[in-house]
Amino acid sequence: MKTEEPRPVLLKEYRPPAFLVDAVSLDVSLDPEKTEVRSVLQMRRNPDADGTGPLVLDGEQLTLKEVRVNDERLGENQYQVDDTSLTIADLPDTFTLSTLTTCSPATNTELTGLYQSNGIFCTQCEAEGFRRITYYLDRPDVMAEFRTRIVSPKELAPVLLSNGNCIDEGETEDGRHFAEWHDPFKKPAYLFALVAGDLAMVEDIFRTQSGRDVTLRIFVEPGNEDRCDYAMDALKRSMKWDEEVFGREYDLDIFMIVAVSAFNMGAMENKGLNVFNDKYVLARPDTATDADYAAIESIIAHEYFHNWTGNRITCRDWFQLCLKEGLTVFRDQEFTGDQRSRPVKRIADVRLLRTHQFPEDGGPLAHPVRPDSYIEINNFYTATVYEKGAELVRMIHTLLGAERFRKGMDLYFERHDGEAATVEDFLSSLADGGEEDLASFKRWYAQAGTPEVLIAGKWDASTKTYTLNMSQVTAPTPGQPTKEALPIPIALGLLDGQGREIELHLEGEEAPSGTSRVVTLSKRDQVFRFQNVPEQPVPSLLRGFTAPVKLNANQSERDWTFLMAHDTDPFNRWEAGQKYA
C-alpha cells in the first residue's frame, strides 16, 4: 500500500534537458498483443545544460529487448531499467541510441500511447503518452525530426498513417505491407501520431496563397464517407482564413484528419495527422443539428490552427499549456466570429466562461492561467487554461488594436518558429511588435480569481463633465491570499437621453476620440473624467466584454431597458436584457 504523497512539479524548478534529440527513426511492427518498436535516436548533450549526468529516458508499460549505443549492444549491467525509466551512464557527447521494445495495444485500456480499439490502432501522446510507445525524453522542449516506418499484415491494417509526408510504401518480403512517413519539421513527442486500420477516405485539394496544392484527406470508418463534406469545407475555410488573418500558410504536402468513434480525447492536433472522435467530424442534414455543425466548424479550425500555435511553436514545459491552448482558442473564436455572427459568438463564449470558468476561479480548485505547480498535468486541461487563457489574448488584442496585434503575432512567429516557447516569449513579442509595455499584464497569467470591477458615475451640470470612479478587487484564492491590481481594459460609451452616442473627450487629452473607446483600469482605484458631456448620460460599460471580470455598476432597471433599446454594442444590449429579466 502506497502512503507517500506524490511530489509536485514546480515551474521554478524547470531546467533545460541534459540531452537533445536531433532525429528520430521509428520502425513499428504492428501486432495487437505484441507490437515491436525499433527506435533510433540521434542524440547529443545539451550545451546549455548540465551535461555531466546520465541519460534518463521516460518509458512505461514497455518490455525492453535491446539497447545499443553507436551500434554496440549494451549488456544488462550497462544500463538500468525500471517501471518508469531507462538510465544509461558514461555516454559520449554525440551518439546514436537504439532500443528495441514491445508493447500491447490491445490491452492498453488507458487509451494513452498506442492502443487498439474497434480494430483500429490509434495513438494519444499528449501530454505524456509517447513514453508508452518507446523510451524517449518525453517533454515538450525536446524537438526532433521524425521518420516513421509502419509494418502490418494488410488484413489487420490496410491503411497505415503517421505524421508528415508519405515517402515510401510497398510490400515486405514476408507478405506484409509498409508505409514510411517523414515529418521535416521538428516537433515534441506529444505531437507524434500513428493510426492504422480499415479506413475509408475522402479527398480534396487546397491551393495555398503561394500556389502550392495541398492534398486534404479525411479518414473514417467505412460507411461514413457521405458525412464528411462539411468538415472538409470547414477545413478549407480554416486554411484560407489563417492565411488572410494571421499570414500562416500550411507547410506539408498533405493534411489528414482521422475520425473514429473510439478516440477518447475529443480531438488532437498531431502534426499533419489530426485525430478526432467522429462526433466532431461527421454530419449530414438529416442527422445533425445547427449546433453540431457549429461545433464541427470550430473544432476543425481549432486543431488546424494548432499547426502554428502549438506545433511549429510549442510549449517549453507543460506550465506553458495556455500558450498554445489559450491562444488557439482565441484564434478559433475569431474564425467563428468571421464565419458566422460575431455578436452571437461573443455572447456564447461569455456564457461558457461564466458558466464553467468563473465557478472554477471562485472555488477550491482555483488556479492561475499559468499554474506554478502540478501533480498530474492532465488535470490542468481546464476552463481556466483554455477559456480564460483565450480572454487574456483577447485583452491584449483589445489593448493593441488589430493592426498592432498582427505585428506582434508576426514577430512572435518570426522569433520562435521551431522553438519551445514561454508566456514571457509571447508577451515580449507582442510588446515589441505592438510597441506597448505589457510588463504588468503578466500578472493575469500568474494570479487566480475573477476580479470584481465597481464603477460609479457622476455628471456635473456646472462643468459639463462626467466622472467614472472605478475600482477593482479580487478575492483570495487557495495559495494566494493577497492580490495585485491587474490591467483591465474596459470598452465604454456614453448615450444621451435620445439614445445617441456622445463624443468621448477624456480629460487630459487634446481632442475627442470617437464615441466608443477603451480605458485601462490598472490601479485599485482610478478616476476617468470626460469633458463636454452636455447632459446626464447613460453609460454603456464593458462593451464586448473586454475583460473576464464581474461588473458592478449599480445600474437601474430604467438604465437596462434604455440600453436594450439604444445601445450600439450588441453584447451590452444582450447583457442589459439578461439583467432586466
SS (H, E, C) 378-416: HHHCCHHHHHHHHHHHHHHHHHHHHHHHHHHHHHHHHHH
Backbone angles phi, psi at 434, to 5 degrees: -90, 0
332: β partners: none
The x, y and z cell numbers of residue 75, run together, are: 549488456
Cα→Cα distances 265→32, 93, 161, 279, Å: 21, 39, 19, 12
Residues 6+ apart with CB under 8 A from 437: 431
| Max CA distance (Å), the chain | 95
- Of the candidates 172, 162, 171, which has an alpha carbon nearest to the alpha carbon of residue 219? 162
| Amino acid (one-letter) located at 231 | A
Give the integer Cα–Cα distance in Å for 538 and 558. 10
Residue type, 383: A
CA distances, 243 to each of 217, 218, 294, 504 (Å) = 20, 21, 21, 36
**Which residues are known to be catalytic?**
303
**Cα(first)–Cα(last) distance of the chain, in Å?**
56
CA 273 to CA 303: how far, in whole Å? 10
Residue ranges of E strands in 522-564: 525-531, 538-541, 550-552
CA dist 59 and 137 (Å) reads 9
**Residues 574 and 347: beta-carbon distance below 8 Å:** yes
Name residue 553's amino acid: A
d(CA 101, CA 164): 24
- Taking residue 562's Cβ as centre, other Cβ atoms within 10 Å add up to 18
Q: Give me the torsion for CA of 419, 424, 428, 430, rounded to 10°.
A: 80
